[in-house]
Structure 1
Amino acid sequence: MARECSIANALEVIGERWTLLALREVLLGNRRFDQIVQQTGASRDILATRLRKLVEVGLLERRQYEMHPPRYEYHPTEVGQSLHTVLLTLMAWGNDHVTAGPPPTVWEHSCGHELRPQVVCAHCRQEVELGDSRAVRLGGRPVER
């Protein structure tokens, strides 16, 4: 039996390639179906399925912007917006370990410098690195020391 895991649970919702790319586009401000198709390269039927699922699970909301014919835009909910940092961190990993040459996309933080996301502890504000934390509960059960 597989371990109960929040990573596995999250991948059930956002783990498909076209899902993450659709989220990327919506968070970048491309909210119309044709814009998302163009920027992701996904087929229309696959993209429609992924967007429908994202609406069903509460990451996106669909808003009508034209009556005849009815047309919709996709807007991130608060829960969808919370994935922004996840996508930035994934992008940074891809820039550092997968993409050859200069990164295709660069973000600037409001301070005026290039954005380099990092994970920090909410309590002490120190950067989190492998080896300086430990699981205290795994699969819903306490970890014995």
Structure 2
Amino acid sequence: MSSPRADGVPALAWSTDNCTVGRSMAILGERWVLVVLREVFNGVRRFEDIRDHGGIPRQVLSDRLALLVEHGILVRVPYRPEGQRERYEYRLTPKGFDLYPVFVAIADWGAKYVADPEGPPVEVAHRGCGAVVHAELVCEEGHLVPERRDVAPRPGPGVKPRQESSSAAR
């Protein structure tokens, strides 16, 4: 692997071609995707309900639901209202449920920085005791890491060295 730049930024030696954050954001990074997921996390599962409650344009919602189904985050489950044609609900898959801590973290950030003066409109509560749930950093050894500066990126098993571009080599 190449050595880091002289100013000591190790990440500059790593390629971003296979970045999992970039790949994740290619799926999740569009505003309406997060609104759709918010609705489904809140138990709103039917197309018209998601559209009405989320304020999402019909074609945009159709496209985003298809994307989330294609990537295995949601699954379509048929239902038939009495006397009507078959329709679909959208339910989280295990892959979709794995995004829940991400939403709790976003909600925590929003409650701290962008909520109305009265507080956030929705809280996430532990079903067992009723207390508000928060996202926390925990290492694989089970240690709670309350100080964000106590974590740092490092090369993982899939790291690839950064290839110098022709303009940078000049």
Aligned equivalent of 1:33: 47
State the TM-score, normalizing by the size of structure 1.
Answer: 0.87
Aligned equivalent of 1:82: 98
Aligned equivalent of 1:121: 139
5+ long unaligned stretches in structure 1: none
How many pairs were matched up?
A: 141
Greater C-alpha radius of gyration: 2
Paired residue secondary structure (2:150):
coil
The 8 Å contact of residues 33 and 64 in structure 2, kept in 1 or not, is answered as: yes
Q: Does 1 or 2 have the higher relative contact order (CA < 8 Å, sep 6+)? A: 2
Deviation of the 1:141 alpha carbon: 3.3
Distance 1:13 1:45 in 2: 17
Query: Which structure has the highest strand share of the two?
Result: 1
The one-letter amino acid of 1:94's match is G
Distance 2:140 2:48 in 1: 39
Query: What RMSD in Å do the two structures reach over aligned CA positions?
Result: 2.0
The 8 Å contact of residues 62 and 72 in structure 1, kept in 2 or not, is answered as: yes
Distance 2:96 2:38 in 1: 10
Deviation of the 1:85 alpha carbon: 0.9
**Identical aligned pairs, as a percentage?**
35
Deviation of the 1:72 alpha carbon: 0.5
5+ long unaligned stretches in structure 2: 1-14, 162-170
The one-letter amino acid of 2:112's match is D
Paired residue secondary structure (1:75):
strand
Aligned equivalent of 2:120: 103
Is 1:131 the equivalent of 2:149?
yes
Distance 1:47 1:140 in 2: 36
Distance 1:36 1:122 in 2: 36
